Amino acid sequence: MNISQQEWLEKVQEDSNAVILDVRTEDEWNRGIIPGAINIDIYKGQGFIYAVEELDKTKNYYVYCAAGARSGQACNIMQQLGFETTYNLIGGISQWNGPVVSPE
C-alpha cells in the first residue's frame, strides 16, 4: 500500500510491530537513513528475495528507497512472498521531512 510521508511517520511511531526497511544500495544507505531502518538492497535480485524470506512475516513493514519506485516494487515482491502488511513511502527518502541519521 502506498502511503504519504505524514501517514507513514504516524503509523510507524504507533506500530509496536513495525520494521523499517530501506531497499536502496549500500552507497545510498551510507548517505543517511531513516532511524531504525534495516537495509536489504533490491538490486541484489535473488539475494534480495533470500534476505527478505528470512524476515518475520508477522511484522508490519515500512519500506522506502530514494524516490518510491524501488520500494513499491519491493512491497509487491514481499506480498507475493506472503507478507501481509507492507507500506510504501511515497516520494522516498528524497522527499522525507522526518529525521535522517547516519547508519551505525
Question: In tens digits, what is the pLDDT along the chain, a chain of 104 residues?
Answer: 999 999 999 999 999 999 999 999 999 999 999 999 999 999 999 999 999 999 999 999 999 999 999 999 999 999 999 999 999 999 999 999 889 999 98
How confident is the model at residue 101, as a pLDDT? 96
Closest CA to 34 of 72, 76, 91, 83: 91
How confident is the model at residue 54, as a pLDDT? 97
Q: What is the DSSP string of 69-103?
A: HHHHHHHHHHHHTT---EEEETTTGGG--S--B--
The residue assigned the cell 518475520 is: 56
Closest CA to 37 of 45, 29, 26: 29
Helices 69-80, 46-53: axis angle to 10 degrees equals 60
How confident is the model at residue 104, as a pLDDT? 80
- Domain 2-95: CATH superfamily is Rhodanese-like domain (3.40.250.10)
- List the domain boundaries for the chain: 2-95
**Single-letter residue type at 83:** F
- Beta-carbon contacts of 52 under 8 Å, excluding residues fewer than 6 positions away, are 40, 74, 77, 78, 81, 83
* 26-35: pLDDT as tens digits: 999 999 999 9
Known catalytic residues are 65
The grid coordinates listed for 94 are: 528524497
